[in-house]
Chains A and B, each alone.
Chain A
Amino acid sequence: MSGERARILVIDDEKVIRDSCTRILIPEGNIVKSAENGDTGLTLFREFHPDLVLVDLKMPGKSGMDVLEEIESIDPNVVKIVITGYATVSSAVDAMKKGAYDFIPKPFTPEEILLIVGRGLEKRRLLLESETLKVEQERVRKNMISLVSHELRAPLAATVQYLEVILGGMAGEISSEAKEMINRCDIRLREMLELLRKWLSLATFDSLKMADHFENIDLSGVARESIEVLKSLAKEKGIQLKLEAPVNLSPIKGSKVSLEEIFHNLISNGIKYNKAGGWAKVKLYERDEEVWVEISDNGFGINEEHLPRIFDEFYRVDGRRNAPIKGSGLGLSIVKRLVEAHGGMIDVESRFGEGTTFRIGFPKFFQPQKEG
Chain B
Amino acid sequence: MSQKKRILIVDDDPDFAAAIQKILTSAHYDVNVAGSVNDGMRMIEEEIPDLILLDVMMEKYDDGFTMCYDLKHDDRYRGIPVIIVTAVTEVTGLKFDPETDGEYLEADDYVQKPISAEALLTKVAKLI
Residue positions of A touching B, CB distance < 8 A: 141-142, 145-146, 149-150, 153-154, 156-162, 164-165, 168, 170-171, 193, 197, 200-201, 204, 213
Contacts and interface: CB of A to CB of B under 8 A. Distances in A.
Nearest to A170: B26
B22 A165 contact: yes
Nearest to A144: B92
Interface in B21-51: 22-23, 26
Given A157-B16, A164-B116, A150 B91 contact: yes
B92 A145 contact: yes
A199 B18 CA distance: 28
Interface string B84-128: 000110111111000010000000000001111100000000000
Which among B18, B22, B26, B57 has the greatest number of chain A C-beta atoms within 10 A?
B22
Contacts of B77: none
B113 A168 contact: no
A164 B114 contact: yes
A164 B117 contact: yes
Given A150-B57, A164-B117, A170 B22 contact: yes
Contacts of A171: 22
A151 to B, nearest CB: 11
A145 B90 CA distance: 10
Interface of B: 13, 15-16, 18-20, 22-23, 26, 57, 61, 87-88, 90-95, 100, 113-117
Nearest to A169: B26
Nearest to B55: A154
A146 B19 contact: no
A77 B90 CA distance: 32
The dominant DSSP class at the A interface is helix
Contacts of A157: 13, 16, 87, 113-114
B91 A158 contact: no
A53 to B, nearest CB: 35
Contacts of B95: 204
A146 B94 contact: yes
Which 7 pairs, one residue from A and one from B, show the smallest C-beta to C-beta distance?
A161-B19, A157-B113, A158-B15, A160-B114, A158-B16, A204-B92, A170-B26
Contacts of B115: 161, 164
Contacts of B113: 153-154, 157-158, 161
B94 A170 contact: no
Which among A145, A157, A168 has the greatest number of chain B C-beta atoms within 10 A?
A157
20 contacts: A145-B91, A146-B61, A146-B88, A149-B91, A150-B88, A153-B113, A157-B13, A157-B114, A158-B13, A159-B15, A161-B20, A161-B114, A161-B115, A162-B18, A164-B19, A164-B115, A168-B23, A197-B90, A204-B90, A204-B95
A47 B92 CA distance: 34
Contacts of B93: 142, 145-146
Given A146-B61, A164-B114, A164-B117, A154 B87 contact: yes
A193 B114 CA distance: 9
Contacts of A149: 87-88, 90-91
Contacts of B88: 146, 149-150, 153
Given A146-B92, A170-B117, A200-B90, 20 more contacts: A145-B91, A149-B88, A150-B91, A154-B16, A154-B113, A156-B114, A157-B87, A157-B113, A161-B20, A161-B113, A162-B15, A162-B19, A164-B19, A164-B114, A165-B19, A165-B22, A165-B23, A193-B114, A204-B91, A204-B92
Given A160-B114, A164-B114, A170-B117, A153 B87 contact: yes
A214 to B, nearest CB: 14
Contacts of B91: 145-146, 149-150, 200, 204
B114 to A, nearest CB: 4
Contacts of B116: 164
A200 B94 CA distance: 13
Contacts of B18: 162
Nearest to A199: B90
B120 to A, nearest CB: 9
Nearest to A150: B57
Contacts of A154: 13, 16, 87, 113
A158 B18 CA distance: 9
A171 B92 CA distance: 37
B95 to A, nearest CB: 8
A31 to B, nearest CB: 37
A154 B114 CA distance: 9
A161 to B, nearest CB: 4
Which among B13, B91, B115 has the greatest number of chain A C-beta atoms within 10 A?
B91
